[in-house]
Chain A
Amino acid sequence: MGRLSGRLDDVTADAGYEDHPPRVGFFTDTSVCIGCKACEVACKTWNSVPDDGYLLTGMSYDNTQALGASTWRHVAFVEKSSEVSLPVDLGMPSMSLPGADPSAAGQATESGDGVVTWLMSSDVCKHCTHAACLDVCPTGSLFRTEFGTVVVQPDICNGCGYCVPACPYGVIDLREDDGRAFKCTLCYDRLKEGQQPACAQACPTESIQFGELDELRERADARLAELHEKGVDVARLYGRDPEDGVGGGGAFFLLLDEPEVYGLPPDPVVTTRDLGSIWKHVAMAAAALTGVGVAAAVGRRR
């Protein structure tokens, strides 16, 4: 049993690998996401993830809705009308004609008399340092790979469903017709071939960056500093901090609003951080029940 919470610099070694490649992950920079959903499509195609229905949701351009057993990348769309436009070039590829008004670049666009600010973000399994799904899995189907990622082994999963409510981000789910749990594997098969995951490969704007986690964190810090310098004070990193409730994500994000606006929990904590207290209270209650039995025995003889 590895460490259950707090900072953990070598999660792969903690999981028992002696010799292992560096931990890898995703840095998803949502400030340059254009909402093209190439990641969703690439993921579905590469991993042969089955179709999970097509619903018109009325949630902006998001008909995918949420991560789930058959959705391992999910692009969230938030449309916010605001009075002021963002006069900032976020440094993303411009879709406008050469010489067009540069203020229309970035995630803001003029429409009618208002300005719509677009928030788009491609969400994915966080491959937590302290992964609740893995901790609670009774069969050992969920495991930590040599790359430090968290993967389900479908040949072992018995569909108990414990990982589903354990994940603080609502990532993993059971596939109904199949009965087993599925989620992003960070393209374990591609990693083993030295390739990058399909979504990162397909992303045209480098919103999804794949790499060694340490390096990604440095890149993210630099990007955040750059945005702050340009006056984009709303920019923040989410899941980057190795001291946070899940010990930092293997996949982390640069966001332009509060996490909950994107459907992310603002301060997720791995449930097993409280495991000691949980088992202690079970032990005390079990002792109390034994005590009830003993007390019931010593009453009057009738």
Chain B
Amino acid sequence: MTPRGETSMVPPPEFESYYGRQIIKTPTWKTPDVPLYLFLGGMGGASAVLAEVAASSGRPDLERVARVTAAGSAALGTVALVHDLGRPERFLNMLRVLKPTSPLSVGSFILAPFASLSGAAAASFLTGRLPRLGRLAGVGAAALGPPLATYTGALLANTAVPAWHEAHRELPFIFAGSGAAAAGGMAMVFSPCAQAGPARRMVLMGAAMEIVGAERLLDRIGLVGEPYRTGRPGRLMSVSRSLTAVAAGATLVLGRRSRAVSALAGAACVGASVLTRFGIFEAGLASARDPKYTVVPQKERIAARERAAVGR
């Protein structure tokens, strides 16, 4: 394998195509609706977890930010998802059946209760009404948060899009890590340093998970990983990774002491999380548009099968 970032000395793989046309269709999912939805689901899901951490350790300022972020992300995410539909007025058809073979179906059944529960928890916290019920709703949202943040990995992977499908092992971890970093980051921006300890720890762990996941992905998937390294999606991915790493470093060193550094690092984490989603989304589109990523791995698969059959 060629080390990343260096140009390969191996000539590009030879393959035939029909007038150079792509084989699979480019996803019709809209930008920015869908990448934003991926981001909001990650940040919202992780924020619901953070809100419970804050609530159980008596950090009301942190809890407020996390609850509002969770509820706001879920509401905005729902809008983005509905807006992306070709027939938005038929959104409720998503809840006609629950199909485990369709991550979008499963996701709708996660998003709908998550949005209600996180909304109820935030409303109760902000108004001070029905605190017990509000807390219960918060616990429910925290239970649904991690599935909400990670099912989007399945959403992308369960397609014929080469760069997404081949990444199915890492995408959920990248999304979980990126979601945790964004949730922690958001909380660092809006809560005092004295209460933001759990948010900082979430940033550090989330950043590590995201970076390790992305590294593993690029090492594992070979040719179809190319769109994650090259062109616009490649730039988005690498800027995101650097930004995350720098923000995590600043959080570790100065996060506890400096409010300004805390806010800046937190904002950087949120921004990096957005870039990650756009990078991964666009890498998938790029891999759909070039027949190379469909044909070459499939030809290799056939050749490997033939070699195995001869060897037997």
Interface of B is mostly: helix
Taken together as a complex, chains A and B put the C-alpha atoms of A227 and B172 apart, in Å, by 49
Stretch at the interface among B16-24, B117-125, B223-231: B16-24
What are 30 A-B contacts with C-beta separation under 8 Å? A1-B101, A4-B101, A138-B102, A138-B108, A139-B96, A157-B87, A159-B90, A165-B160, A165-B161, A166-B158, A170-B24, A174-B86, A178-B86, A260-B299, A263-B21, A265-B23, A266-B298, A271-B157, A274-B165, A279-B154, A282-B153, A282-B172, A284-B173, A285-B153, A286-B172, A288-B173, A288-B176, A292-B206, A293-B53, A297-B57
Residues of B within 8 A of A139 (CB): 90, 93-94, 96-97, 105
| Complex contact B16–A261 (CB within 8 A) | yes
* B278 in the interface (beta carbon within 8 A): no
Closest to A157 in B: B87
A301 adjacent to chain B (CB < 8 Å)? yes
Q: Known contacts A165-B24, A288-B173: does B154 contact A278 (CB below 8 Å)?
A: yes
CB distance from A77 to the nearest CB of B (A): 10
Within 8 A of A (CB), among B104-153: 104-105, 108, 142, 145-147, 149-151, 153
Chain B hits for A165, CB < 8 A:
24-29, 159-161, 164, 284, 288
| Residues 65-93 of A contacting B (Cβ, < 8 Å) | 65-66, 68, 76, 78
Q: A1-B101, A136-B102, A162-B104 are in contact. Are A301 and B57 (CB under 8 A)?
A: yes
Decide yes or no whether A300 CB sits under 8 A from chain B.
Answer: yes
Does B38 sit within 8 A of A, measured CB to CB?
A: no
A140 close to chain B: CB less than 8 A: yes
A205 CB, nearest partner CB in chain B, Å: 22
Q: Tell me the count of chain A residues lying within 8 A, CB to CB, of chain B.
A: 74
Q: Cβ of B18: which chain A residues have Cβ within 8 Å of it?
A: 59, 76, 78, 260-263
B153 & A168 in contact (Cβ 8 Å cutoff): no
- Give Cα distance in the complex from A170 to B28, angstroms: 12
Report chain A residues within 8 Å CB of B172.
281-282, 284-286
Contact A179 B295 (CB under 8 A): no
Asked whether A132 is an interface residue with its Cβ less than 8 Å from the other chain, the reply is yes
Residues on B close to A: CB < 8 A?
15-19, 21-29, 45-46, 49-50, 52-53, 56-57, 84-88, 90-91, 93-94, 96-97, 99-105, 108, 142, 145-147, 149-151, 153-154, 157-161, 164-165, 168-173, 175-176, 179-180, 184, 194, 197-199, 201-202, 205-206, 209, 256, 284, 288, 291, 294-295, 298-299, 301-302
State whether B147 touches A282 (Cβ < 8 A). Answer: yes
Interface check A135, CB cutoff 8 A: yes
B90 contacts A140, C-beta separation under 8 Å? no
In angstroms, Cα B81 to Cα A158, docked, is 12
* A240–chain B nearest beta-carbon distance, Å: 15
Chain A residues within 8 Å of B, Cβ to Cβ? 1, 4, 57, 59, 65-66, 68, 76, 78, 132, 135-141, 156-162, 164-174, 178-181, 258, 260-268, 271-272, 274-275, 277-279, 281-282, 284-290, 292-293, 295-297, 299-302
Q: What residues of B have a CB within 8 angstroms of the CB of A289 in the complex?
A: 45-46, 49, 145-146, 149-150, 176, 179-180
On whether A265 and B28 interact (CB within 8 A), knowing A161-B86, A169-B23, A275-B158, the answer reads no
Given that A160-B104, A260-B23, A297-B53 are known contacts, is A288 also in contact with B158, CB under 8 Å in the complex? no
B298 near A159: Cβ-Cβ < 8 Å: no
**In the complex the two chains form, is A296's CB within 8 Å of B50's CB?**
yes
Contact present for B291 and A260 (CB under 8 Å): yes
Q: If A136-B102, A165-B26, A170-B25 touch, does A179 touch B50 (CB 8 Å cutoff)?
A: no
